[in-house]
A and B are shown apart, each in its own frame.
Chain A
């Protein structure tokens, strides 16, 4: 028979991780709903996304508080310490992803009734789809301690970055119609939000790699893009 001297602490830690994984699902659903409300110009769906942010924020605050309690009371070390560090970071990233979904939903309200451009909408839908996949992959990598999956994230992010860079040209092509241009400029912001969500997913994957290997490194370095650390 094995007895674990720190069973209570480890149960708390597991519970905390499950809560963060749950936050990942909430954030992913918010993103999906925000993108649907954009595609359908659905104001009710957009409002639901905005309202659901309170739930995510409450979860965020609770994870933050309980993590600090474990740090103060249990002095975690080694893999436990790394997990707590990864949870703290992931918690912040997921809360930001929720805020970005809310930003998209607010834009849906603002642009309601304006003429739309289908090319831009389809590009945004593709970006939203990939960003969602990335978020799910990073959270799956955390849940399964899957280093191979975690290191795939920068690669998954490439098309999101590419579509975001191409958005300027698409928006400029709407200049002939002032109303559509107004809509398109708002869509630049949506594109930017989706690109940021992809970056948050990459950052979560970095935390997963740190948790597993004990070595922290950035997968990509914005200021030195030529030195990409992804293996």
Chain B
């Protein structure tokens, strides 16, 4: 199958929610998809849904970290997840590409649909999931290799061997890094600044032509200029990819995202355990001008105890 054809084209409307056609008709990870089972809820507008979470709870060694999250993540939008420390932001974002599978004792209940397919279904290959759903982490994590090899690596791992230089160039351009490194492609990636390293990681993620890019605090180690570049880049990438970002910088969520989910921690009656819960999920401009829930307002205005 041609590499370029893997990207989605067109859409099929079903009960108000559009599901993407993918590489092989009717399948995403080589598994048959049942389209249209999920009826649309009261969505503000009909928009293609990438992820649908239904009553998702995540626990570590039996301790619930996140409880009963239900939300739809729209396609080609930037969805921000905000909330206080320990509310389960990072735990939640790791369910989108099954990164929690890698943590011993982690268990996910409820259902996560990716383009209508059960992401945690028995026949789904987590490695394939992570190819389509890329991730950028808090700390830039380039390989100790050349800039070129960092981007080419993912392509080779995925069995793509043709046009590697052109694909690397394209990915670096998409990550707004090409002009800065075009003459230094053989240099070690560690010679780059922190902000450049993070954009290199974004280039590495987009090189394999994913569908979704997850970002877990991608700017927390960067200075304001490097942060602004990444934020600009996110807006650029949005037309091609769906982006989910976890950030504890509320202003970053306000500046960059289209949709914002606010999570908070709920303390158990005996005060012994704290669990993350979704309070509100709405258009970002509404969350930051007139949030619907008093807890959201208290958090974003800093009036919380």
Q: Which A residues are within 8 Å of any B CB, using their own CB? A: 1-6, 9-10, 75-82, 213-215
Contacts and interface: CB of A to CB of B under 8 A. Distances in A.
A9 B296 CA distance: 18
A5 B289 contact: no
A1 B304 CA distance: 11
Interface residues of B, number: 15
Contacts of B296: 78
Contact of A9 (B290, B291, B297, B302): B302
A6 B301 contact: yes
A215 B302 CA distance: 22
Given A78-B288, A78-B289, 7 more contacts: A3-B305, A4-B302, A5-B302, A6-B301, A10-B302, A77-B301, A79-B297
A59 B296 CA distance: 34
A5 B304 contact: yes
Nearest to B292: A214
A77 B305 contact: no
Contacts of B233: none
A77 B254 contact: yes
B303 interface: yes
Contacts of A9: 302
A78 B305 contact: no
A77 B82 CA distance: 14
B181 interface: no
B290 A215 contact: yes
Contacts of A75: 251
B289 A82 contact: yes
B300 interface: yes
Contacts of A76: 301
B250 interface: yes
Nearest to A2: B305
B289 A214 contact: yes
Interface string B268-303: 000000000000000000001111000011001111
A10 B302 CA distance: 9
Top 10 closest pairs, chain A to chain B, by CB: A214-B290, A6-B302, A2-B305, A5-B302, A77-B288, A78-B297, A80-B301, A77-B300, A78-B301, A78-B291
A147 to B, nearest CB: 14
A47 B250 CA distance: 52
A119 B297 CA distance: 54
A78 B304 contact: no
B283 to A, nearest CB: 13
Contacts of B251: 75
Contacts of A79: 297, 301
Of the candidates A2, A10, A76, A79, the one having the most CB atoms from chain B within 10 angstroms of its own CB is A79
B82 to A, nearest CB: 11
21 contacts: A1-B305, A3-B305, A4-B303, A4-B304, A4-B305, A6-B302, A10-B302, A76-B301, A77-B254, A77-B301, A78-B288, A78-B289, A78-B290, A78-B291, A78-B301, A79-B297, A79-B301, A80-B301, A81-B289, A214-B290, A215-B290
